Amino acid sequence: MQTPALPPQGATVRARRWRRLRRAVALPLAALALSGCTVPSFGASPGATTSSRSVFHLWQWFSIGAVVIGGFVCLLILYAVLRYRRKGDNIPKQSQYHIPLEMAYVIVPLLIIVGLFAATLVVENKETANPATKVTINVNAFQWGWKFTYPGTNAFVYGQTTQEPEMVMPVGENVHFNLTSSDVIHGFYVEAFNFSRYALPGVKNEFTFYAEKTGTYFGQCTQLCGLYHALMWFRVKVVSQSQYATWIASFNNPADEAAAKAAAKTTYQQTSSVVPTKGSTTKFGR
Ligand SMILES: [Cu+2]
């Protein structure tokens, strides 16, 4: 009877190595896929305003940089682990006091940090710029809702817990915002604008949005502010300039004027003793 020929020793070792390498590559790839990381947005919104688009691009470049540098470091670690894994005198060549190498690994990270800092500074200056504007909206946060008033007009929008107030603003125009709080600290966050600011009692936070496209975007409070914090939603409806003018004009009657004056003075508070629930649980505006 003939004994089957054994595969050559070298081929077995190579097959085992290949299997290990595939596992080493598959594991990080699986981790990346399972983490739900979306490429090329890296989980951020592409942005509906000028500054949010800059923030988005900054985020993209930061993420790409992190992936490249992280990947390079991982490869170096992997190489050292695999190449020098045997015990004994299997020590890599020591190269301390290699001045050019040491200077390179001090200077290169410094340059990277300066680059990241400069890019962040440019984008943040853009985001905090307050150019001259024709439209102003006062945003007032309270437990647990939002009031949006439009100085110089009778328009106002108000809503709490069970409601979803919808702030209206024009596209293609700088709109100035004054953000305040009536009671505790709230967070004004609009995902599509890549923007978040504290609404602080006794402090006026100012910022400007230049919406680049029309649409309805989701906003919410991002600072745990009490019992019904989770119900502090609102919407931002970006409309054309003519639609905005029509909307403002729709408040031009004496009853609206009286209501707007009263709303501007009122500090709203949650009054219902019944546990409020939202009419809809749909997330919109993405
Ligand atoms: Cu809140």
What backbone torsions phi and psi does residue 174 show, to the nearest 5 degrees? -70, 130
Which residues line ion ligand 1, judged by CB < 5 Å?
Answer: 186, 221, 225, 229, 232
Q: Looking at the structure, do residues 61 and 120 belong to the same domain, yes or no?
A: yes
- 228, 154: one domain: yes
Cα-to-centroid distance, 201 and ligand 1 (Å): 13
Note whether residue 275 is domain-resident. no
Looking at the chain, which runs of residues are DSSP E strands?
A: 135-142, 145-149, 156-160, 166-170, 174-181, 186-190, 195-199, 205-210, 215-221, 233-239
User: Does the predicted TM-score (pTM) go above 0.85?
Assistant: no
Shared-domain flag, residues 154 and 253: yes
Task: Determine the structural domain holding residue 226 and report its residue range.
Answer: 135-265
Q: How far is the CA of 188 from the centre of ligand 1 (A)?
A: 9
pLDDT value at residue 90: 73
Report yes or no on 212 lying in a domain: yes
Question: Do residues 143 and 52 both lie within one domain?
Answer: no
Whether residue 172 is found in the same domain as residue 251: yes
CATH of residue 160's domain is 2.60.40.420
Per-residue pLDDT reduced to its tens digit, 55-95: 999 999 999 999 899 999 999 999 988 888 887 767 888 88
**268 contacts 158 by C-beta, under 8 angstroms:** yes
Do 110 and 146 have their domain in common? no
CB 235 within 8 Å of CB 200: no
Taking a C-beta distance cutoff of 8 angstroms, is the pair 87, 229 a contact? no
> Tens digit of pLDDT per residue, the chain (286 long)?
555 555 556 778 888 888 888 887 888 778 777 766 677 778 788 889 999 999 999 999 999 999 899 999 999 999 988 888 887 767 888 888 889 999 998 999 999 999 999 999 999 998 888 888 899 999 999 988 899 999 988 888 888 877 889 999 999 999 999 999 998 999 999 999 999 999 999 999 999 999 999 999 999 999 999 888 888 899 999 999 999 999 998 888 777 777 777 766 666 655 555 566 665 544 433 3
Are 36 and 74 contained in the same domain?
A: yes
162 found inside a domain: yes
Residue pair 150/137 in contact (Cβ under 8 Å)? The answer is yes
Do residues 186 and 230 share a domain? yes
Domain count, the chain: 2
- The four Cα atoms 30, 36, 41, 42 give a dihedral, to 10 degrees, of -70
One domain for residues 115 and 23: yes
Same domain, 174 and 236: yes
- CA–centroid distance, 143 to ligand 1, in Å, is 7
Tell me, in angstroms, the distance from the centre of ligand 1 to residue 259's CA. Answer: 26
| Distance (Å) from CA 230 to ligand 1 centroid | 7
